[in-house]
Amino acid sequence: MLEHLQAVPPDPILGVLAAYNQDPNPNKIDLGVGVYKDEEGRTPILPSVLSAERELLERQTSKSYLGPTGVTGFNEAISRLIFGADSPALNESRIRTVQTPGGTGALRVAAEVIRTANPDARVWFSDPTWANHTAIFPAGGLQSGTYPYFDPDSNGLRFDAMMEALGQLGPNDAVLLHACCHNPCGVSPDESQWREIAELAGQRGFLPVIDMAYQGFERGLDDDNLAIRVFAEQCPELIVASSCSKNFAMYRDRVGAISVLASSAQKAADIETVIHSLTRKNYSMPPAHGPAVIDIILHDDALTAQWRAEVGDMRDRINGLRAGLVARIAASGVERDFSFLERQAGMFSFLGLTVDQVQKLREQFSIYTVNSARINIASLNQANLDYFVSGLKSVLEG
């Protein structure tokens, strides 16, 4: 049977990583993989996480199964973090949060929840979106489409076109939105625009599905849940897929959650049973280590304060790199205006290069990015900024 299987093309980002790893150039730069890196080019373990891990090792007494919901304290704390501690929906018990293996796991569970509720539903993605979105939801059994989002000419949001497209949708549709730090373009709606989108969702009846992968990396932990709060005000139903990979830097521990807002407390409880049924047939029981660590952090005032400061440091470093990159590109004499990089937020932005220019960056300078020229700003540092700008100037002028 298995002999009939054929090789499939590698994931574009993983392909870039493989080529980078094989490159002997000591000046090589990997701008493809979406992980945070510090000034030394490492993805660090946060000190708050290390402290909580030590505490966990001392207190844990069993490696038995957690049960389908996962770590209860983690779920409660994540609900407060993403909806706000004073959320009326939380106080009304209309929200259920279930731990998942990473944010990607949450997205796949979300797809299956939607398919179970409505097999004819269609999910709509922003153009562009994270490439894995367009694989996860169809794999979960859903049809899909796209709505206008990013304008490569202005490097901004196509808000009017987006609203026109969303205005055609209805109760058989789910719309996937990025809560903050849009991947791959770094452009988010402002507060008034979020409120217009949420009001439209309430009027048209489509289901908002919000991917919360970078909370804390745009404006701050307490501001980056704005979209979730305004949708919770306007819509009776909402699904949120959240990830702790970036803001806790716990990538390999695969910590995430699916949160569902329902029209009533009873309906929320009903939906939780559906989630448990779906996950039982998938990964059966969730992992323990990462969520238990975050449970400790978010229930210890000192560790919470330390973690919040660490998230702020990562955000400030990325913003500093954006400003420094814009300044150095301008100082190099490049005629193209790259000031948009400072207006955008999060780890990712498009450089606006052609595929040929991307290939020249790789071949001539060992600077690796995907063909769309989406770069991970956090992979830059003070030691490689000038080298990167030199390579960029060369391919732009060549």
Positive or negative torsion for Cα 335, 340, 341, 342:
positive
Pure H helices in 125-264: 133-139, 159-166, 191-204, 226-234
CA–CA separation, 390 and 56 (whole Å)? 47
Are 190 and 227 within 8 A, CB to CB?
no
Question: Which entry of 30, 173, 211, 253 is annotated as an active-site residue?
Answer: 211
Query: CA dihedral in degrees (331, 333, 338, 341; nearest 10)?
Result: -30
- Amino acid found at 77: A
Question: Which entry of 28, 30, 37, 246 is annotated as an active-site residue?
Answer: 246
Are 137 and 143 within 8 A, CB to CB?
no
Q: Is 211 a catalytic residue?
A: yes
Are 218 and 201 within 8 A, CB to CB?
no
Lookup result for tokens 């704005």: 226
CA–CA separation, 99 and 106 (whole Å)? 8
Question: Which entry of 124, 130, 194, 307 is annotated as an active-site residue?
Answer: 130
Q: Is 130 a catalytic residue?
A: yes
338 CB contacts (<8 Å, ≥6 apart)?
325, 326, 329, 330, 351
The token pair at 234 is 């306007």
CA–CA separation, 78 and 73 (whole Å)? 9
Are 265 and 94 within 8 A, CB to CB?
yes
3-state secondary structure of 355: helix
- Amino acid found at 198: A
Pure H helices in 100-210: 102-117, 133-139, 159-166, 191-204
User: What single string gives the DSSP state of each residue in 290-353?
Assistant: HHHHHHHHHT-HHHHHHHHHHHHHHHHHHHHHHHHHHHHHHHTT--S--THHHHS-SSEEE---
Cite the active site residues: 130, 211, 246
